Chains A and B, each alone.
Chain A
Amino acid sequence: MSIVTVQLGQCGNQVGHEVFSCLCRDLCGTHGLCSSRENQSYQDACRERFFWEEESGGSVARAVLVDMEPKVISQTLSMAARSGFWKYSDHSHFCQKQGSGNNWANGYSVHGPRHKEAIMNLVQKEAERCDRLGGFFTLMSMAGGTGSGLGAFVTQCLRDAFPTSFILNHIVWPYGTGEVIVQNYNSVLTLSHLYRSSDALLVHENDVIHKICAQLMNIKQISFRDVNQVIAHQLGSVFQPTHPAGGDSDYSRNPLGDLMEVLVPHPEFKLLALRNIPQMPENSLAYSTFSWPGLLKHLRQMLIANAKMEEGIDWQVRPPPPGSSIPSHSTKKPLHFNTSIANLLILRGKDVHSTDLGSFQDPSLYTSWLNPQDAFHAWKTPRAFNKYEKSASLVSNSQFLLKPLDSVVGKAWNMFASKAYIHQYMKFGIEEEDFLDSFTTLEQVISSYTTL
């Protein structure tokens, strides 16, 4: 099954380019530490999922690029073409001349309806090109105007046009200290709208990735390209072909569907986090060895203590002792214990089938209204990813985003109370009512996750 990627705005397009580059590098650059038959099967599955082949034999990404101004798209197209291994189609992008001005209302209420037909035509073409459509993967940031506003509108259109397809939105959460002054407004509006039309929201926080770059990757002068490459690696570790839990020898044919099934049991809970270890500079890889027990232990503690990377994990945080049947919203659980609804572990590499995952099935990790057997799943693939001998990714639906979400909503509310910048949104048709609706939706989400 194939996935159609929709890249929206500057961030969406920049990240998208890095994702396809990473996928291609993993495909072509390594043999994956497994048999060549296995490798061939992996490559075929990946190609079908993300690329189509043109007559001359080149790989073309299954992607639609959308932006309201031309500079980023033209840069993205030319960078991809220069790689020599893959490219974007010349006919799958849509851009205008003047951007959205960081104005969500401009993206959603003006650009959206105006360009709906043209954009959806491109999406339709890509969808028809797939033998079997596995769903949509959108890439956007929340802080700006196009990715956020137009992205929310396009997601709605996707939902209307493809009611039975899966939609996964990847969202870049902006740095806490401003990239854009109205980022909190744009974020609130985006999240509330996406919550209605999307199946799940996979979130990467710039602050977190920045720390990974600084502390784990040892990059001195971190650029957005560095940040995007880490994000791409993490996404690749999830979306590259995997064997479904049954231990079947075939790669999963329905990646997005499988993901939704195991991670989103209830429509009120759609926020997904991604943790991937190990993460290190490429030139250190050859000198490092990892053991599965070690990696899994770290990953479990990262989940519990809500740590986003392998350094600075708080080992003091523990789940409540077993045998004390505490309802999940009791106050006895330590306040910073991160409760999960569902977890998905994706393991790739050497000796993957010998791993013991019992620690992740501990009921104390999860909310009480799900059976741990239903809440936890693991997909194991012997084919190594992106030169990492062993790589473990944890996709989880948990309370991880509570604090950042609460912070963003709080700041947006504070600004809203003083009515600052509201006139800019009203100019394009978003009224105070719309803001209030969005705030209400998100307070509901915060409340739901808090009482887990």
Chain B
Amino acid sequence: MTQSVVVQVGQCGNQVGCRFWDLALREHAAVNKKGIYDEALSSFFRNVDTRTGGDGPDIYKGKICSLKARALLIDMEEGVVNEILQGPLRDVFDSKQLITDVSGSGNNWAVGHKLYGYQYRENIVEKLRRTAEHCDCLQCFFIIHSMGGGTGSGLGTFVLNLLEDEFPEVYRFVTSVYPSGEDDVITSPYNSVLAMKELNEHADCVLPIENESLFDIVNKINQMISSGKLGSTVKQNSLVTSSAASAKTLQEKPFDAMNNIVANLLLNLTSSARFEGSLNMDLNEISMNLVPFPRLHYLVSSLTPLYTLADVNVPSRRLDQMFSDAFSRDHQLIRADPKHSLYLACALLVRGNVQVSDLRRNIERLKPSLHFVSWNQEGWKTGLCSVPPVGHSHSLLALANNTCVKPTFTELKDRFMKLYKKKAHLHHYLQIDGMEQSCFSEAVSSLSDLIEEYNELDATKGGPRTDPSRLKIAV
């Protein structure tokens, strides 16, 4: 069994991360009734003997003593991390996993990447090494951050670089929250494009998320509940937006519902690696199957169902509905419509009481309405995990490598160019040691190249298919 380490950087990264650990504990508590520290738990948690006070040795078998998250919490302000350490998750982290500073990055990628990166490099490497040493077989780093700010974006991508240098064999999955058009951070386009270059070059897989999509999903759920359209009551803990504790007892913070969705994404992504199933799908398989060319590693994700009804009788039609929903525009976690763009590859990770025949039936059903690239007409990767998420009997995570990410990138580039042409706010960046104008031009060039790659693929869509001629053998 392998382990993964979560590196949460910046305010957004840490808030999402916090939700992740909360829900991970809930999920394992639901499955692991006997309180034994098993392999599934060890993928994200260490079992530490705290009776000796402080950092006791890891306990690899037997009863759970004290669970510690395999995580690194990084923020250049103290507020968010302090809140986590005072909240219900305080025992899951120890002080040696934190790197904080006081003044923040001022929404400046250069401050995060060049200034703090340089300053904290040793510290970060040391802490990463320690976390890696506690792992028997470290498979993957999950970075959670936002693109629009200074710390998550700048320092986050600095850490990404670092991971590639120090741990080249370990996969790097990045969950990036992209800024919306109405973002109140004026320099978010700069920060995002500068960060994109790093993601292009150093990440194995990127899962882009847009706040607008999360917001729409949250609204949709709230509307459904309050409209009373659902005959019976919704199972509270099945909401993709719910936190571990009952919503009534805890005052939920504003972004919690949205962040829970992202946390669920990560849980579902790793479920087949943690739990058993008839067709396992490990993280290295995701990277292998969904990334046909090194730079095209942006995966659009969708989660279904968003909730389950308390009514236990779930007919098979509901199951098929789950598959249909996964391809609908309003279940995607970015503003995109994969159905009308070109698929390079698609992965379906099913959890719970679903068998291979259900999977096949739905693939056959949905295939005709989807456009796949000519050299990958049957580009499906499937996984079946027996353990469903909390509150559900089954669920589906769909990951698509699809050209529908292109608009997100072109809009980002446009917003960037608007500022860049006027050289607005540029001096804030250029005054940082190590930043030059070329950083900007290289970054936007990298983004343009990426967009161009997607354009070329889109151009092949719907065109006549001429298969290359096969090798001829002399008879």
Contacts and interface: CB of A to CB of B under 8 A. Distances in A.
B289 A180 contact: yes
Interface string A168-190: 00000001111111100000000
Interface string A416-429: 01111101100000
B363 A177 contact: yes
Nearest to B284: A101
B355 A222 contact: yes
B391 interface: no
Contacts of A177: 360, 363-364, 367, 378, 380
Interface stretch (B22-30, B416-424, B466-474): B466-474
A99 interface: yes
Contact of B292 (A210, A409, A410, A420): A420
Nearest to B383: A179
A425 to B, nearest CB: 9
A14 interface: yes
Given A99-B284, A424-B291, A181 B357 contact: no
B285 A102 contact: yes
Interface string B359-393: 01001100100000011111111101000000000
A37 interface: no
B282 A417 contact: no
Nearest to B292: A420
B475 A447 contact: yes
A428 to B, nearest CB: 10
B374 A210 contact: no
Nearest to A104: B288
B467 A99 contact: no
Contacts of A97: 1-2, 136-137
Interface string B178-194: 00000000000000000
A178 B2 CA distance: 26
Contacts of A409: 470
Nearest to B138: A98
Interface stretch (B86-94, B213-221, B273-281): B273-281
Contact of A101 (B137, B287, B294): B287
For chain A, give the interface size range: 35 or more
Interface string B118-153: 000000000000000000110100000000000000
Interface in B420-440: none
A203 interface: no
Contact of A182 (B289, B356, B363): B289
B358 interface: yes
Interface string B443-475: 000000000000000000000000110111101
B345 interface: yes
Contacts of B364: 177
Contacts of A420: 292-293, 344, 375-376
B39 interface: yes
A215 interface: no
A319 interface: no
A342 B354 CA distance: 41
B303 interface: no
For chain B, give the interface size range: 35 or more
B195 interface: no
Interface stretch (A40-48, A65-73, A249-257, A393-401): A65-73
A99 B285 contact: yes
B290 interface: yes
A186 to B, nearest CB: 10
A224 B475 CA distance: 41
A181 B139 contact: no
Interface in A381-420: 409-411, 413-415, 417-420
B356 A223 contact: yes
Interface stretch (A238-246, A280-288, A353-361, A436-444): A436-444
A181 B379 contact: yes
B137 A214 contact: no
B378 A178 contact: yes
A177 B472 CA distance: 27
Contact of A98 (B284, B344, B376): B284
Contacts of A223: 278, 355-357
A181 B470 contact: no
Nearest to A424: B288
B473 A447 contact: yes
A343 interface: no
Contacts of B376: 181, 415, 420
Contacts of B375: 414-415, 417-418, 420
A71 B275 CA distance: 8
B280 A414 contact: no
Max chain B CB contacts within 10 Å: which of A69, A178, A219, A414? A178
Contact of B290 (A10, A181, A440): A181
Contact of A70 (B39, B139, B289, B345): B39
B473 A99 contact: no
Given A177-B363, A178-B382, A181-B380, A222 B356 contact: yes
A451 interface: yes
A369 B382 CA distance: 45
Contacts of B293: 419-420, 423
Contacts of A415: 375-376
A444 B470 CA distance: 12
A75 interface: yes
A129 interface: no
A439 B471 contact: yes
A13 B137 CA distance: 23
Contacts of A414: 374-375, 467-468
Given A223-B356, A413-B467, 8 more contacts: A98-B137, A98-B139, A177-B364, A178-B380, A210-B356, A221-B357, A411-B378, A444-B473
Interface of B: 1-2, 39, 136-137, 139, 276, 278-280, 282, 284-285, 287-294, 344-345, 355-358, 360, 363-364, 367, 374-382, 384, 467-468, 470-473, 475
